[in-house]
Amino acid sequence: MKAVLQRVTEASVTIEGQKVADINGGLLILVGIEDADTQEDINWLTAKIAKLRIFGDADGVMNLSVQETGGDIIVVSQFTLHALTKKGNRPSYIKAGRPEVAIPLYEAFVQQMEAELGKKIQTGQFGADMKVALLNDGPVTLIIDTKNRE
């Protein structure tokens, strides 16, 4: 499972002209799922994200987590995070999870993130053509791969 975390001052997701998610301050999380991912990956990743100290404290030092700041989160499914680009110029998505595997894991990720933070998480729509808008704060952008956690 891969995640791209972007600290934002605002973010939104629009599908077919309809805004389905909208936050002011927090994290926009793009999540890519592969067939080999499990609940263990979800547990580790959601705990890591909730406690990751990437928000400024009173002195402007990145010393606070989204959990501590009460920031909001939007989670967006992003199969292209598993693109293979080594050969040729057309990315291969063979490592990306098939929908029958990825959808339940994506939903479990969102539910576990809500449990970690004790609040509702906004989302895009799995498989939809989404327009994602954000104002990256910092900019702070991190990439986390659960297969590289050791």
pLDDT exceeds cutoff 90 at 150: no
Q: Which residues are catalytic?
A: 78-80
**Helix crossing, 99-117 with 39-51: angle to 10°?**
40
3-state secondary structure of 69: helix
Q: Is the bond into 91 cis (omega within 30 degrees of 0)?
A: no
Q: Lowest-confidence range among 26-40, 45-59, 82-96, 129-143?
A: 82-96
- Each residue's pLDDT tens digit, 48-87: 999 999 999 999 999 999 999 999 999 999 999 999 999 9
Percent of the chain with pLDDT over 90: 97
Percent of the chain with pLDDT over 70: 100
Phi/psi for 31 (5° steps) reads: -120, 125
pLDDT exceeds cutoff 90 at 149: no
Domains detected in the chain: 2-145 (3.50.80.10)
- Listed in sequence order, the DSSP H helices in 52-121 are 66-69, 99-117
pTM: 0.95
